[in-house]
Amino acid sequence: MKLLSIELENFRPYGGRHRLSFAGEPGHNVTLVYGTNGGGKTTLLNAFTWALYGHLSADVEQQDRLINNRIWHEARVGSQVEVSVTVVFEHEGRTYTVRRSLTAEKHSSEQRLPKPQLALLERDDRGITRELKSAQGHIDKILPERLSKFFFVNGERIEQLVRKEAYAEIQHAIKTLLGLEQLERALKHLPTAANKLRHQMKSEGADSELAERLAAEIDLTYKEMEEKKQEKETLNTEVQHLKDEIDLLSARLKSLDGAKQLQIERERLEREREAAHESLRKLEDDRARVLADTGYLAFLPELPEKVIAACDALRERGELPAPLKLTFIEDLLETGECICGTHLPNGSSERAALETWRARAGLAEVEAAWNQLRGAVSGLEERRASTMDRLLDTDRLIGEASDKERVLVEQLNEVSLELQKLPREDINAIEVRRGKMIDKLSETSRRLGTIDQDLDHLASQKKQKEEQADKLQVKDENNQRIQRRIAVVRETEAALGKILELLSDSIRRRLDARIRSLFRQASLKNYEPELTAGFQLEYWEAAGSERMPAPKSTGENMLLSLSFVGAIAQECRDAANNPNPFFGGVGGEYPIVMDAVFGNLDDDYRRQIAKFLPEMTSQVVVLSSKAQADGVAEDSLRPRVGQQYVITTHTTKSDLVDVTEKISVNGKDYPYQVLGSSFDGAEFTEVTDS
């Protein structure tokens, strides 16, 4: 997918029609769009997702007011007003035009909007254009919606990828890349198919009645599991909305005089608390592994000495090593002749003497076992001491991490109290609401934990009932045939599950290697990222022969998240060149459109990210305020910029002071914020060569 242009008509702050073209030439693949905070950059980012998928991001307020306020206000009652976004792009040698639009009739100041209409035109290499039916399906085949969030990115939200809660989002992206949705659907429906077969088992006898009862119980358990999963999905969505709301409230605090420094301090403390919590979790996991592997040694303080003492006693009595082997004595008795030539007839004193030696002779296996046991326990005490030392050291580190986290929580509470004590009512109200959102987030997270436990319990119950039902003894041929079919379904389910696991892990490993490579190119520190087997983005610091979780700054979080996005883009590009894909996954070159990528980074990280962005994929659109990009970031991007625009923000207010009314781009001034304008809104101004 190569973006050619986007046109907005009456879309939120953009009254009238506004069009942008995008750079995409090799070496000049960056389009840079400047806009002030609140001036329309996020709206532009959302214009892409609304046109392609029909939705806006959760952080967009008043989502039902799609039509530009000025255009709507000036329209006569009873007249119709149209809003639309048109995106033109190339993909696999064809040109596509996507247009999502709606026309609303004005009855009042409230916008009551009908369902948008979607149209998709395709022009082939011969210049023939046709309208495609099932437009949304075609768009999802080109770039699936659940993968699009990695290409149309809010830079202030991208850091969420480094949170452990993002594992499901990353896992879904990986499965989408491979086109494994059909496997997931099969794995979802196969258990239901197996249970439908169980319901067909009809015959006389207790086993048949038990089979029917078990099948009914499996249905009920499966239904309860699906309800829990649906509730979990709803709660996960709520969690994301709560986090977005908390982030918005935090951003508002940081923009208000009096609260700004306190909010910056809180963000620093929150990063430290998150790092301390992550370190604590890793230490607790390490302790659990030690206890699982060698924890039994703690209960064997005297066993090694007893075993060694027993072995030594056997040696002192001459029983180890055995003076004679049992097989040697038995061979002599069987042949009836001693090695000295003496005959050993039954009842003779010579044979009786030899038989007394048989009771004293040792078994080779027993002797070997004693020797092996003594060798095994000889190092047991040393291993026990090492395990105890390691556990004590881990307990000490856990205590330190717990204390550190507790202190940070207390400091965060103090910051919250200071914010609530500020005289400004708006700051107090925001802080109180933020606290309520955090409490609700904690409550929702606890509910999610309970649901996960319930799902594990229900899954165990379902498995036990299925195994019990499938082991029932049935005699008639029809039921035996049904059981064989059930067995085939279960085997298919197991095989597909293994295939899904292997393919997911394979691409995870490839992405992990790509993330490491990309991160090394831009990182200022010699730390190592990792996409773990649990689909989490981790960050490690070498500590001698071991490694420890490394603290992540805002810049490192941004680099780590961008490395993942770049790895996804590279994987898509390589998939397009694979002539024999295992499944019909996603492949091709995709653009990255990113808002607020430079955020609050310092100059070093701005420079590194500015160099890094053009290398991520073949086309990059950067939406940034002039202040964020100014300086090292702008200088580093300039050689790769092929197209530039300024979002000019208009406001009817005229009594503002210290406002940046013009910005200089390539040595030429462009209107940035127009005070005392005749309307409130925004428009695009193309940057031309100076």
3 state DSSP class of 622: strand
> Tell me, what's the pLDDT at 11?
93
Tell whether domain 2-143+590-645 is in CATH 3.40.50.880.
Answer: no
For the segment 470-490, the average pLDDT, to the nearest whole number, is: 78
pLDDT tens, 171-213? 777 777 767 777 777 888 888 888 788 777 765 454 667 777 8
CA–CA separation, 38 vs 657, rounded Å?
17
Q: Residue 457 pLDDT > 80, yes or no?
A: yes
pLDDT tens, 362-417? 544 555 555 665 555 666 677 777 888 888 888 888 898 899 989 998 998 888 88
pLDDT-above-70 percentage for the chain: 85
Pairing of strands 129-131, 94-105: unpaired
Q: Residue 583 pLDDT > 70, yes or no?
A: no
> Tell me, what's the pLDDT at 165?
60
CA 667 to chain centre: 43
> Tell me, what's the pLDDT at 315?
56
For the segment 547-565, the average pLDDT, to the nearest whole number, is: 76
Comparing CA positions, the residue from 545, 544, 592, 486 lying closest to residue 211 is 486
Task: Look over the chain and give the mean of its residue pLDDT values, rounded to a whole number.
Answer: 81
> Tell me, what's the pLDDT at 578?
66
Region(s) of the chain under CATH 3.40.50.300: 2-143+590-645
- Among left, alpha and beta (phi > 0; psi -120 to 50; other), residue 10 is left
pLDDT band at 156 (very low <50, low <70, confident <90, very high): low
Residue that has been written with the tokens 């208000």 in this structure: 256
Return the higher-pLDDT residue of 48 and 146: 48
| Both tokens assigned to 197 | 């077969």
For the segment 266-287, the average pLDDT, to the nearest whole number, is: 84
pLDDT tens, 213-271? 888 888 898 889 889 988 988 888 788 778 878 877 887 887 788 888 888 888 888 87
CA–CA separation, 593 vs 162, rounded Å?
20
For the chain, the 3-state helix, strand and coil shares in percent, each to the nearest 5, are 60, 15, 25
Give the largest Cα separation in the chain, rounded: 131
> Tell me, what's the pLDDT at 505?
85
pLDDT band at 656 (very low <50, low <70, confident <90, very high): confident
> Tell me, what's the pLDDT at 305?
62
Q: Residue 7 pLDDT > 90, yes or no?
A: yes
Question: Rounded to the nearest 5 degrees, what angle is found at the Cα of 272, between the Cα atoms of 268 and 274?
Answer: 115
pLDDT tens, 325-365? 566 667 777 788 887 878 888 888 888 877 776 665 554 45
> Tell me, what's the pLDDT at 569?
83
Comparing CA positions, the residue from 147, 179, 170 lying closest to residue 500 is 179
> Tell me, what's the pLDDT at 162?
66
pLDDT tens, 71-126? 999 999 999 999 999 999 999 889 999 999 999 998 888 888 889 999 999 998 88
pLDDT tens, 405-452? 899 989 988 888 888 888 877 888 888 888 899 899 989 989 988 999
